[in-house]
Amino acid sequence: MVGRSRKRKKMVIESLVGSQTAITGNIGFLGGLHIDGYVKGDVEAEPGTDSMLSISEGGTVEGNVKVPSVLLKGTVKGDVTTTSRVELGPTAKVIGNVYYNLIEMAIGAEINGKLIHREPDAPAVADDGAGGGDDSEPDPAPFLGRQPS
């Protein structure tokens, strides 16, 4: 089949939100995160990594998602921002905008928002020209509560 010849990197799950689990608060992660349960808060991978998020059919995130790659079969009520790839399964539902570099969308997937293409090196958030802050990259060490090596 055309377009299916590329090999996909196997996802290794280091963290899991189980189907009987509800989390209120933001989640920061590194590596692979799989959500079967409910998260009320933002889900963000450590910047500059090849982390992957998967959300199953029963999984829901009420908050923004910022990750390099996402495989979505559940629901996100918020914006989805990726630097690499978005894959939307037939049961996926996004109530918000999807910022993507590459996208694969199955028949049945729903997006109630805008699809916005981004180049891989585009900034994570559009600059509104308001200024403030510096242009340096954020230090990822506090993000996961560890010291830089």
Q: What is the model's pLDDT at position 139? A: 47
Q: What is the model's pLDDT at position 119? A: 86
Is residue 90 predicted with pLDDT exceeding 90?
yes
Share of the chain above pLDDT 70, in %: 73
User: What's the CA gap between 81 and 116, in Å, rounded?
Assistant: 9
The ranges assigned to domains in the chain are 15-120
pLDDT in tens, 68-82: 999 999 999 999 999
pLDDT band at 135 (very low <50, low <70, confident <90, very high): very low
> What is the reported pTM?
0.76
